[in-house]
Amino acid sequence: MMHAIHNKKGLKFLIAATTLWAGMALAQSGSYPNKPIKFIVPYPPGGGTDVIARIVQEPLSSNLGQQVIIENRGGAGGSIGSEAAARSPADGYTVLFTLSSHTINPAIYPKLSFNTEKDFLPVVTIASLPQILVANPDFPAKNVKDVIDMAKAKPGTIAYASVGNGSPGHLAGAMMAGAANVKMTHIPYRGGGPAVTDVMGGQVPLLWVSIPAAANFVKAGKLKALAVSTTKRSAVFPDVPTMIESGFKDFEVDSWYAMFVPANTPKAAVDRLNAAANKVLTTPEVKEKLLNQGAEAVGGSPEALGRVVKAELVKWDKVVKENGIKAE
């Protein structure tokens, strides 16, 4: 018995020592990165997460001295791509580039095959921004009050799209309908690109989505903006009212984009990625490109992002239960 315990302790020590050695070797050799880094974006091309990832892709490649390759894996509100990232080698060469649905999904999908907090290490927050409620230009509603009046007149017939179950847009739509005590139909898509296309095409009248996915189409008049989800108006669309201004007290859904790596990734790799991202986010060119998409550069430490994840897992679980949100 004592022999078995001794072996277990020895095994644990060996694993810990090996992990520590790998991290020290990585830091001392300065060899990381020595090959291309894959960014898994768990949404299709053209959506908000994809747009933000591509803004920092080239600057990060230059800073790291290695190519950053974006791989889009959409579906299940970001869970499919997130699972792929969680199962990837913890060597610093696979990064999950996702949005704040990362902390919502555990409440929506209770049987996720990965643990949001335990299977990932936070790296850095890239940007934050509001969700925006947009409509097809031919949709009669001119503001949120009109939308609610239409929903009251014909319960269940007014639909809104989002980038998937458990996305910030899904929560925004459910909170809007719940607060107004109306029934609306949620239509989940596999990302912002397909959702925007269908709303512009008239298949769905409304869409709650991150500003980057809709900004250019709003500016071109192909979509009309009705409200933003944050407590302050967007710098990109200063004429678009907030939901609070539209009569929804305490309404706030603040989205963020961030980088994570699989658990047990060496600290040296995490620190290198964090330093590169923080450097890139201070450049005027990147800040301007983000702002043009309605996003504000954030940056900061892995620990700061970790605190956000921990707090939001609790917050969104409560919101999901209060609004009866379920995976459809």
- List, for residues 295-323, the tens digit of each pLDDT value: 989 999 999 999 999 989 998 998 899 88
| CA–CA gap between residue 271 and residue 301 (Å, rounded) | 9
130-228 belongs to which CATH class? alpha beta
What percent of the chain stands above pLDDT 90?
A: 74
Mean pLDDT (the chain, rounded): 90
| Residue 294: band (very low, low, confident or very high) from pLDDT cuts 50, 70, 90 | confident
| CA–CA gap between residue 138 and residue 266 (Å, rounded) | 53
| Residue 324: band (very low, low, confident or very high) from pLDDT cuts 50, 70, 90 | confident
What is the pLDDT at residue 25?
46
Residue 167 vs residue 95, higher pLDDT:
95
Residue with tokens 């017939």: 157
What is the pLDDT at residue 8?
44
- List, for residues 1-48, the tens digit of each pLDDT value: 444 434 544 444 444 444 444 444 454 446 999 999 999 999 999 888
What is the pLDDT at residue 148?
98
Asked if domains 2-128+255-323 and 130-228 share a fold, the reply is yes
Q: CATH number of the domain at 2-128+255-323, please?
A: 3.40.190.150
What is the pLDDT at residue 300?
98
CA distances from 264 to 3, 131, 149 (A): 28, 33, 52
What is the pLDDT at residue 167?
84
- List, for residues 221-269, the tens digit of each pLDDT value: 999 999 999 989 998 899 999 999 999 998 989 889 999 999 999 999 9
Burial of 34 (0-12, 13-18, 19+ CB in 10 A): exposed
Can you give the residue ranges of every domain in the chain? 2-128+255-323, 130-228
What is the pLDDT at residue 174?
92
What is the pLDDT at residue 30?
66
- List, for residues 191-231, the tens digit of each pLDDT value: 889 999 999 999 999 999 988 889 999 999 999 999 999 98
- Mean pLDDT of the region 267-278: 98
